[in-house]
Amino acid sequence: MFFSRKKKQGEHKTEKKEIDINALVNDVINHLELEKQGIIDKALSVDIFFNSDWDTYLLSWNVTPRNINEREDDLKTGIPVSKGALPVEVREVFIRLKEKYDKICKELRGNYAKALQEEDEIEEKLWEFEHRKLSDFVETETKKYIKKIKKPVDNSLDNLLQNAEQNKNKWSSNLQDAKSYMIRCKSCGAARLLTDQYDNCKFCGSELFEKIEQYKSMFGFFKKKDKTEKPPLSNGSSFNDDDDGDINDEEQEKTQKGKVVPSAKAQELITKWEDLLKRIQQKALDILKEAEEKSQPLINETLYDTQAIHQLWSAIKKKAVDNLGEKVDEGWEKFSDLTSEADLTTNDLDLGEVGMLRDETNHWLAVEYERYYVRVVAKAAKKIWENALQDN
């Protein structure tokens, strides 16, 4: 179907089947990376004003090229870039690539169902590829591509504060004729005004709003957290730790039943992965604490609008949630690659369980940001209330 491997002379029939299915799965995984890199290299080589060679390449992927007016318009609405093809077009190629490998995986499962059933390790490898790599492939790779082409900007906290200062009390001082409502694309940061379309970002093609299922999984229907609850991995232990840092006997007994005890090599990689997550969490806390402290002068000078504060904290979210979330995802990809290189199996570690730390850390980043943001906005609202009382 995809790749084949010749049988060595004297090789046992069942052994051949095991080697073949493993080779097929590895070939699928490796060839996705090769094709992805080919797309990126081609897109990066495109002149910023585009050319017919890129149009031909898009058509080869069954993607309709935009005309020059559409491309110029989309570039104007997006973030500043220094090179490369338009992200929304590159994203469409990534979609076609994902569809191709979704089909390949489906054929693999159909043609080699029995072999996969007999080989838990290979089945798990294919499952991880389908449900972790491919499921987030388009969004993840589009974000990475945008990082490669965007112009470098000074996103230091002092510079963000300076930019926010320019919009301080504009509405209160009647310096702005009308209020401008906008949102920013969660993937590329391009702004969308009230008069713009609100389905997909014109610049990168990502959905501007979360699906209700995504929203629920991020902010809803989680257990209510205790005020003393620690951040994930802050003390080097699991997410199910008690407040005193120890796991109670009943919980420990439950988790040990049927649980894979990591091998020495697996534990070494898990420790590095957990250390990375702890450093990312600490970095987020440092950013948020400093931002809250430096927001105080803006709060003190607030009259009747919080535009400057909202502008500042939108940029803080990019630093503390989006950028650090990308670090988490990159770390997980590196961890997965290292486990493959080390030939670790399901007897060495439960990759799905370890992977949950990625999702929980990203959730923690989002919730921790909201906690600081709400606190700052509440202080600003209190200041506006005090101003109103004084004026009356």
Q: What pLDDT score was predicted for residue 258?
A: 57
Q: Using an 8 Å Cβ cutoff, are 139 and 146 in contact?
A: no
Tens digits of residue pLDDT in 137-183: 998 899 889 888 887 665 666 666 666 555 554 544 444 444 444 56
Q: Is the pLDDT of residue 322 over 70?
A: yes
Q: How many Cβ atoms from other residues are within 10 Å of residue 64's Cβ?
A: 10
As a whole number of angstroms, the distance between CA 135 and CA 148 comes to 22
Q: What pLDDT score was predicted for residue 56?
A: 92
Helices and strands, counts by H and E, the chain: 14, 2
Cross-strand bridge partners of residue 191: 184
Tens digits of residue pLDDT in 254-279: 445 557 788 888 899 999 999 999 99
Q: How many Cβ atoms from other residues are within 10 Å of residue 205's Cβ?
A: 23
Residue partners of 363: CB distance under 8 A and separation at least 6: 218, 222
Instruction: Look up residue 66 and give its DSSP letter.
Output: P
Who has greater pLDDT, 202 or 212? Answer: 202
Give residue limits of the domains in the chain.
13-149, 157-391
- Sign of the Cα torsion 22, 28, 31, 32 reads negative
- Name the residue among 3, 19, 233, 249 with its Cα closest to residue 115: 19
As a whole number of angstroms, the distance between CA 206 and CA 185 comes to 8
| pTM over the 0.85 mark | no
Residue given tokens 């709400």 in the structure block: 374
